[in-house]
Structure 1
Amino acid sequence: MRNKSLLKEIAIIISICASSLIAVAQKKGKIVVKNDSSLTKIDPLILNKVNFPLNIAVLPENTTSSTQAVYTSSLVKQPVSNVLNALTGRLAGLNTQQITGQPGFDGVVLSLRGRTPIVLIDGIPRQLTSTDLEGIESVTVLKDAMATAMLGVRGANGAVLITTKNGVRGVQQISLTVQSAFQKPLSLLKPLNSFDYATLRNEAVANELRVNPNFNTGLRFSDADLTAYQSHSDPVGHPDVNWYNQILKSSAPLNRYSLNVSGGNKTVRYFTEVEHLYQDGLLKTSDINTYNTNQYFSRYLIRSNVDIDITKNVSAGIHVFGSIANENEPGVTTATLFNSFLTTPNNAYNIYNANGSYGGNTTFRNNLQGQAFSSGYQQNYSRNLIADFYVKRTLDEVTPGLYVKASVAYTSSLSENINRSKPVIAYQQTISNTGDVSYGPALTPTSAQINTNLISGTTGLDGLGQFRQNYFELSTGWNRTFNNAHDFNVAVLANSDSKSDGANLPYTIQGISARASYTYKKKYIAEFAEAYNGSNYYLTDNHFKYGFFPVFGLAWNIANEDFIQRLSWVNTLKLSANFGRTGNDNPGYFVYLQRYNNAAAPYFGTSNGANTSLAEGTLANPNITYEKADKFNISLQASVLNNRLGFTVDYYYNKFSDLLIQRGQNTSLIGNSYPNENIGRNQYSGMEFQLSWQNPKSGDFSYYASFNAGFQQSKVLYANEVAQPYDYMQRTGQKVGQAFGYVAEGFFQDQADVNNAKQNGVGVVTGYIAQPGDIKYQDQNKDGLINQFDQVPIGPKGPYITYGADLGFKYKNFDMSFLFQGAANYNVYLNGNSYWEFQNNGFGQAYEQQLGRFTSTNTAGATYPRLSIGNNSNNQTFSTFWYRKADFIRLKNLQVAYTLPIKYAKAVKLSSVKLFANGVNLFTVTSLKGGLDPEVYNGLYPIQRVFNFGITAKL
């Protein structure tokens, strides 16, 4: 009965939606609940003023939580398809990293105080972040335990709340925005031309022969080959093709069109929007096809938010969102094509043979041009529908400030893949002794063209891309002020959130939450919140396991004290703190059940026949439970000098327990894999700063500046690791995710240096024969060997730092803004086909960084070890040589805009016209060398530099 009576965690939804839609107005000791449009007009520059509470109908100064928001005016400055991409550099403590620039996949990885936050849209946890920017009112980060208290078992990692726009009473407003942009790749790898490639590979072969006289000399190029590559005299037999230039365009378009209408009267308020976005890819196409083989992303969406006052005491709302998106790519897929760039040198083969067929050979059987033009295409169609309904009844006749509210939300997504891919046949040219030329296929096709239309994707255990979510909530609340001194605010919520992913059984979270705050004379605030909720993927009688998550908070509005109010230059000054427990539900899909999977069929007699067998899967964990986080936050917020200068300082200390990890002390003797268990403990701590200054308009000129920074430390408190012979090998006590490797000490300069390695306390990996030019490593335990006992923590020692700066000014009708973002104490690992030479059995790509390799004539100035063929167990092992510092600062966004004088706008019957130009990823300064981008440095689809032009007209 308990799981029937407990609806799901409504605590979040109502608190969040209401915090951006309603506010409390006090009048003669009574409370009036009303739509507060002033919240949307708060200047985002005064960061301490945008701390929206999670509570329902609680003024920002009447909460102890730590939040920060960014608004529409800032979001729309960046022409991106994913709203998370517009948050970069704007919110303290929220770290974003873009890992690809591929159209349709250009989202970012979020980290809030070291953890991955949950994303909420209008208070409901949802997966859809590829949405319209024009229809978003604000994006708020909920950082501490109080801000996410009513999330309970989903609040441990913090949250990012996306609040969509609602209509307001007033004259109907119509706004049309048209934007057109072109994109250019921010950074591409720099492969060697054919002559340098052949020269360096010969050098690598010579290096290998010094150690192994039986090494394959067939990898060498002859002097005649080198001459032909240098002179370009034989483009068929000795090609020199820059595949990036051959396959990729220098730029690609991005267009967005958005139309929205809003308004309302005493009864109805509405906001509606339609939008189309088209983002083209960088791949060239050919007129040999009647279809498009380029990577592109196209999306149509519609949003309609309608709120109605049915009677004086009853209001309701219907909020609907729908989108249709189409992604296209070549048949081999864009990811495969970019991987081919990393494995195909410039001299691999000629693009076309004399007879017009694609060139190739037995080593390189897939022609890159053929993959781009003639491998068919694949498409993905996705449809998303969100429908939210609510009805609210005020009960002022029972007691002023009392209300009840019921909400229902439905989400449906469908992903459909169309595969029209086909094999690409490359042909190798053969010249006989008589001079006859013939062509034979380098690769015999293993299959015919694929023609499938499947509802498939990456979600669900069965791979089906169907998703449904049903959300129900019921809430009641009471807010009231007595004698202009005692403010009470109470909310009790119950909710149920059920998600069906593909063919999986529904995953349901349900529970009750409550929140109460008391404020005395607007000076002293006491706040309590709790959530009692859980999910259904556990081994219990009813499969639900619940937890209790309480949070306590205190705050002091110092600015309201008499001794501060005498200081006219102090506008706000608030000290707040909270402490509590939140949870993270991560049970996996019925992991308490022992599974048995199909295994290789045994043979009996001479035929396999119908024999079958089963193999035990990963061990079950019947004791699994939710992860927990005990979180403390203290915050100081202030604004002074008539709200010109504002700042917020936060300190947090979060201790996570019952983290799901695999035992480090497991053994392979049982012949099976151990499950994840709730045994890990981690700690995160840090500080966040927000500082802003805005100069009110003085004549025709005004300006603003805001800065934010986050400093984060972490520590592994317990990891169940095996006993280590040396303290420096212990993972416990180190940073979460700490890298371990060898400490490089440069290159061996000559044979004498190699011979004296042991007495100098350095060496090479055990079993490897050192040569001059090899990387030497510190012998940490002084045993004369370099092995796993010499691997130590490497990388930055200080806190991980993220920061941003938003600067701007306005002069008459002209305005300009700049957004910078950056990171410090940030390292990346350079490895594999995108950085090392001659991988893939010696036939892989080589790059400009290898020109700085160690040679007998380039010792002291060498920036790269001696060249080798294939994998080098010493030089290419994980070490400080490859784990590089990548601190950076990036001009993330710049916008220049001009608003036409009103008289000219009215001349064409418009209320305003704004012309603007903006750019994204315009300039980067980084400590990472070689022209690599600090975010996408591994040869994947590059981040785009975008130049955008647009116009907004309002009627």
Structure 2
Amino acid sequence: MISFRQTLALKAVVVMICCLPLGLLAQSDTTAINTMSENDSAQTIYPLIFYKIKKSGSTASASVVPGTSIRHTPVMSFPAGLAGQLPGLKINQTNGQPLNEGISMLLRGRSPLVLIDGIPRSITEIGIEEIESVTVLKDAVALAMLGVRGAGGAISVVTKKGAPMKSEINFSGQWGTQQPTQNLIGNPLDAYQYALLYNEALKNDGLSVANNGFSDAAIQAYKDGSDPYLYPNVNWRDEVTRKSAPVARYNINARGGNEFFKYFVNLEHFNQDGFFKTDNSNNYSTNAGAKGYFVRSNVDVKITDRLDGGIYIMGRIMDLNAPGSDGANNIFQAILNTPASAYPIRNPNGSFGGSSRFQNNILGQSQYSGYFIGHTRTVLTDFYLRRDLDDVLPGLWAKARVSFFSDMRENYTRSKTFAVFQIMNNDANTPVYGQYGTNSEQGNSNAVSFQNRSNFQEFSIGYSRNKGLHDLDLLLLANRDNLIAGSNLKLTVQGISAHASYMYDKRFIAEFAGAYNGANRYPSDGGFKYGLFPSIGLGWNLHNESFLKNKNWLNELKVHGSYGMSGLDNGSYFTYIQSYNNAPTTYFGTSATSTTTIAESFLANPNITYEKAKMLNIGFDSRFLNNRLSFDVDYYFNKYSDLSIIRGTNSGTLGIAYPNENIGKQHNSGIEAVLGWKETRGKFGYSVAINAAIQQTNLVYNGEPAQIYEWMQRTGHPVGLTYGYVAEGLYQTQAELDSRATTEGYIPQLGDIKFKDLNNDGAINQYDMTIIGSEKPSVLLGANLGLQWSRFDLSTLLVAELNRQVYPSGNSYREFLEGVGQAFEVHLDRWTPANPNASYPRLTTNGGPFNGEFNNAATNSFWLRNGNFLRVRSLELGYSIPASILNRIKLKSTRVFVNGYNLFSLSSKTFNGADPENYRGLYPIQKVVSFGIHVKL
């Protein structure tokens, strides 16, 4: 067991590192942080990750955020609450549909592994209130024990545990209203404006308006609304979506124990409604909502004086609801694709409007095509036994633990079809309808969309000794993780790992860590391929040196560095085995004799292996002025090799796809910094914590074929850049058209985008394509600001991304796609002879000899948009009710609060009001305003 002195130091370090405004809130909000190290040390519970949290005696690069900082985030997936709070961690959310948020995580440019209580897990939806802390592990020392799973970094979630304390019951409730952030680039045009622009585009394409466009009478009818059935003007977004929807969370948990028995029990419910309108005549919901129920029971028992044990159980039930079989995102895409003039909502006889081109009425699609339900059921169970071996050697201990995980989702689809009708007047001007599609009874089907199972076993033995000037921690463990996804064969990752930490006189630190492990999907004896992943870290606590030790202004000053190797198991499903399948029937001779042949399913790669990373990290941590001022900086340089990629020189002449090969090389580097200040004076307190990360990538090798011109090369440039033509404005005069380089396969027109002839050969073709995106490093920023006065507290979290570019395209930005798609306000500022300084090229319907499809639609820099943004991720105002009032009703503490989530965003005007994260027209991200209460009994 670690000493009491170490425990106190651990508590202080964790609180200092966090430096978040919520640390200034009521005592009820900070209890979880203060008791983190009292629950049984992280060392004894989680030997795989304990040394990353013990930052005062470690050289590892790790950042910690307490669970209290994401407690009131109205989401089910906890990573959404981490945006902007941890340096180097980038959270993207491209979708707002409940349980389908499209959340992705990048840690120093790579996808991290998720650990829950030290065990790799594939889930991110857990009860927010059960989270004690979240730690990001970023350097070689912090990741070495993960071995073949560590190259992408890790996000370690520690759940709350019981503590020797009087039983405590907490209840929290949060009720809010969510509204969609803007999810379209500009607003769709009404029918009148659409018709005018469509006719203009036809003329630009050299097509006949009389045969293909809108007549003058039709345009006038769209303008005055005189015949809404023949000439409809429908705002589909307003017709099928609501302005707001409710969201709620309820939680109750109990915590307590004594030296023999400790427990934490949690029950949480989350309910998020969707933005679609529904019809009360349906006896089922067609909205896009989700409900989640989370249960956790963490129990630790002292079985004997030297033997401890624990059982941690987590269960979750999540239900996703969506309209019809098309799904929520398809409905929003239909809104983007369908012009206001396409068809009426309903015809005079009450039937659904439609046409030969638009045979899926959006109202019918959202409310009358049935419904979809996805049931997810998860059970997770951890067991451990820990034996104190002080009777053998003081400071020695051993621990065994096993874990079982089962996750399944079953989908129920209750779909039906409906007919749409188009009015076609006869000579007597009596409505005659043309029918498209048919009405059907509801069809019922169900299927298991995924089913994951895993079992995990680990045995560890450790030694901890603090004697005089020497502090020594040793750890050796062996573990095995068996994963089964659906019908796939078992994936097993197993091996041994070790960690040694030595600190002399609280000044000098040396750490050694490593793993020897591997997975079973590689071509070797027994199917396992193992690798050795060593690391070393050195640190120096300068504040404990005699020349700095008694300086009142200095509390901590540590420099540290680490270097080592990690790996990533990125092998495909037994791709080293050549497999064959039935090929199409082949006919021979004049009698057409047929035979069935076989062909390779894919080209096998017998040399496949795991990816590797050499990781360097140098940093320093500092605390000044009674811990009021803090400043931490890290520099990293990671070399990734043996990346699994498809060779860039592959050719279709082979007749089969090239396999993934371990030939890729990439470098990631950057600087991360955290600056914090916190101070309390009487009843007033405030805090500021700003984190910044500058990230740069470089593609070193990807098997790229030799390029004729150096500007065509990907190698040597940042990863993920956009390649295309360099735009030089719009053609304004015939003289420009005549004098500039010709475009192969297309004759440009006035108002088209003109491209730069990079090789000056007089032709625009593939040899003129180059990098059109910025090569500047990406910058991630986060700021936590907090104020407290008496019983009031105010906190806010700001998130920003700089040097970010996006390429909007498709139905969310281009006009008249497929010849009949929607058009938007941005298209009003299109090029015409009277508007030569337009922000948009001439319009085209993508038809006719001058449609512009091979010119304007080509990937080019004209369409790149500044993707920088600043978002107010959260804003919260709270009030703690005085104890004099609470004592009368036997309550320990009560805090009420009102908060906002995704309240406001600042982004470039070139985005035209679109959400900076969800700009492709998918289900909108929510901004939420809610009221809540937290009661401690």
Fold equivalence (TM over 0.5): yes
For residues 416-427 of structure 1, the aligned pairs below 5 Å read 416-427=410-421
For the 8 Å contact 1:23–1:59, the answer to whether it is kept is no
What CA distance in whole angstroms lies between the structure 1 residues aligned with 2:874 and 2:532?
43
Find out whether 1:820 has 2:804 as its counterpart. Answer: no
Deviation of 1:104 (Å):
1.3
Counterpart for residue 349 of structure 2: 355
For the 8 Å contact 1:82–1:107, the answer to whether it is kept is no
For residues 228-247 of structure 1, the aligned pairs below 5 Å read 228-247=221-240
What CA distance in whole angstroms lies between the structure 2 residues aligned with 1:785 and 1:394?
78
Find out whether 1:802 has 2:780 as its counterpart. Answer: yes
Counterpart for residue 914 of structure 2: 932
Deviation of 1:944 (Å):
0.6
> Residue type of the partner of 1:77?
H
What CA distance in whole angstroms lies between the structure 1 residues aligned with 2:230 and 2:403?
64
Find out whether 1:88 has 2:73 as its counterpart. Answer: no
Counterpart for residue 256 of structure 2: 263
Counterpart for residue 29 of structure 1: none
Q: Deviations over 1:465-503 (max 9, x none)?
A: 111010000000001023x11111110000000001001
Counterpart for residue 868 of structure 1: 844
Find out whether 1:399 has 2:398 as its counterpart. Answer: no
> Residue type of the partner of 1:208?
D
CA separation of 1:607 and 1:888: change in aligned 2, threshold 3 A: farther
Counterpart for residue 292 of structure 2: 299
For the 8 Å contact 1:37–1:168, the answer to whether it is kept is no
CA separation of 1:559 and 1:664: change in aligned 2, threshold 3 A: same
Counterpart for residue 888 of structure 1: 869
Deviation of 1:756 (Å):
2.6
What CA distance in whole angstroms lies between the structure 2 residues aligned with 1:440 and 1:169?
76
For the 8 Å contact 1:23–1:33, the answer to whether it is kept is yes
> Residue type of the partner of 1:498?
N
Q: Which residue, 761, 769, 778 being the options, matches 2:747?
A: 769
Deviation of 1:108 (Å):
1.9
Counterpart for residue 474 of structure 1: 459
Counterpart for residue 713 of structure 1: 696
Counterpart for residue 415 of structure 1: 409
> Residue type of the partner of 1:407?
R
- % same residue: 45
CA separation of 1:609 and 1:324: change in aligned 2, threshold 3 A: farther
For the 8 Å contact 2:616–2:636, the answer to whether it is kept is yes
Counterpart for residue 900 of structure 1: 881
CA separation of 1:467 and 1:35: change in aligned 2, threshold 3 A: farther
For the 8 Å contact 1:629–1:654, the answer to whether it is kept is yes
What CA distance in whole angstroms lies between the structure 1 residues aligned with 2:257 and 2:590?
81
What CA distance in whole angstroms lies between the structure 2 residues aligned with 1:865 and 1:265?
73
Q: Which residue, 493, 505, 509 being the options, matches 1:521?
A: 505
For residues 422-461 of structure 1, the aligned pairs below 5 Å read 422-444=416-438, 449-455=442-448, 457=449
Deviation of 1:600 (Å):
3.3
What CA distance in whole angstroms lies between the structure 1 residues aligned with 2:616 and 2:532?
17
Q: Deviations over 1:404-458 (max 9, x none)?
A: 000000000111010101112111222221333232322246x764211222x2x
Counterpart for residue 849 of structure 2: none
Which ranges of structure 1 fall in alignment gaps of 5 or more residues? 1-21, 27-31, 458-464
For residues 303-382 of structure 1, the aligned pairs below 5 Å read 303-331=296-324, 332-382=326-376
Counterpart for residue 711 of structure 2: 728
Alignment TM-score, normalising by the size of structure 1: 0.92
Counterpart for residue 206 of structure 1: 203
Counterpart for residue 899 of structure 2: 918
For the 8 Å contact 1:579–1:632, the answer to whether it is kept is yes
Counterpart for residue 15 of structure 1: none
Q: Secondary structure at the match of 2:502?
A: strand
What CA distance in whole angstroms lies between the structure 1 residues aligned with 2:265 and 2:14?
17
Deviation of 1:526 (Å):
1.1
Deviation of 1:42 (Å):
5.5
For the 8 Å contact 2:638–2:669, the answer to whether it is kept is yes
> Residue type of the partner of 1:199?
L
Q: Secondary structure at the match of 1:563?
A: coil
What CA distance in whole angstroms lies between the structure 2 residues aligned with 1:881 and 1:219?
29
> Residue type of the partner of 1:839?
L
CA separation of 1:702 and 1:613: change in aligned 2, threshold 3 A: same
Deviation of 1:385 (Å):
0.4
What CA distance in whole angstroms lies between the structure 1 residues aligned with 2:283 and 2:269?
24
What CA distance in whole angstroms lies between the structure 2 residues aligned with 1:405 and 1:607?
74
For the 8 Å contact 1:748–1:772, the answer to whether it is kept is yes
Deviation of 1:602 (Å):
4.4
Counterpart for residue 490 of structure 1: 474
Counterpart for residue 756 of structure 1: 739
Counterpart for residue 948 of structure 1: 930
Find out whether 1:854 has 2:831 as its counterpart. Answer: yes
For the 8 Å contact 1:330–1:376, the answer to whether it is kept is yes
Deviation of 1:36 (Å):
7.3
Counterpart for residue 18 of structure 2: 44
Q: How large is the RMSD of aligned CA atoms in angstroms?
A: 2.2
What CA distance in whole angstroms lies between the structure 2 residues aligned with 1:85 and 1:553?
32
**Which segment is superposed worse, 425-434 or 722-731?**
425-434
Alignment: residue pair count = 907
> Residue type of the partner of 2:332?
F
Deviation of 1:355 (Å):
1.1
For the 8 Å contact 2:63–2:135, the answer to whether it is kept is yes
What CA distance in whole angstroms lies between the structure 2 residues aligned with 1:390 and 1:272?
18
For the 8 Å contact 2:17–2:63, the answer to whether it is kept is no
> Residue type of the partner of 1:123?
G
For the 8 Å contact 1:98–1:108, the answer to whether it is kept is yes
Which ranges of structure 2 fall in alignment gaps of 5 or more residues? 24-32, 847-851
What CA distance in whole angstroms lies between the structure 1 residues aligned with 2:613 and 2:761?
42
For the 8 Å contact 1:828–1:934, the answer to whether it is kept is no
Q: Secondary structure at the match of 1:228?
A: helix
For residues 452-851 of structure 1, the aligned pairs below 5 Å read 452-455=445-448, 457=449, 465-482=450-467, 484-602=468-586, 612-695=596-679, 697-758=680-741, 765-840=743-818, 842-851=819-828
For the 8 Å contact 2:663–2:703, the answer to whether it is kept is yes
Deviation of 1:82 (Å):
0.8
Deviation of 1:598 (Å):
3.8
Q: Deviations over 1:845-895 (max 9, x none)?
A: 1111000100011002x0000000127111111111112111011111000
What CA distance in whole angstroms lies between the structure 2 residues aligned with 1:528 and 1:564?
28
CA separation of 1:504 and 1:412: change in aligned 2, threshold 3 A: same
Q: Deviations over 1:380-415 (max 9, x none)?
A: 001000000000001111111100000000000111
What CA distance in whole angstroms lies between the structure 2 residues aligned with 1:607 and 1:920?
72
What CA distance in whole angstroms lies between the structure 1 residues aligned with 2:172 and 2:452?
32
What CA distance in whole angstroms lies between the structure 1 residues aligned with 2:776 and 2:670?
11
Q: Deviations over 1:338-359 (max 9, x none)?
A: 1211211111000101111101
> Residue type of the partner of 1:233?
S
Q: Secondary structure at the match of 1:600?
A: strand
What CA distance in whole angstroms lies between the structure 2 residues aligned with 1:900 and 1:606?
94
CA separation of 1:925 and 1:97: change in aligned 2, threshold 3 A: same
Q: Secondary structure at the match of 1:651?
A: strand
> Residue type of the partner of 1:942?
P
CA separation of 1:672 and 1:600: change in aligned 2, threshold 3 A: same
Q: Secondary structure at the match of 1:168?
A: coil
Counterpart for residue 100 of structure 1: 95
> Residue type of the partner of 1:244?
R
Deviation of 1:152 (Å):
0.3
> Residue type of the partner of 1:474?
F
For the 8 Å contact 2:588–2:594, the answer to whether it is kept is no
> Residue type of the partner of 2:709?
Y
What CA distance in whole angstroms lies between the structure 2 residues aligned with 1:344 and 1:101?
21
Q: Secondary structure at the match of 2:424?
A: strand
For the 8 Å contact 2:10–2:56, the answer to whether it is kept is no
For the 8 Å contact 1:310–1:316, the answer to whether it is kept is yes
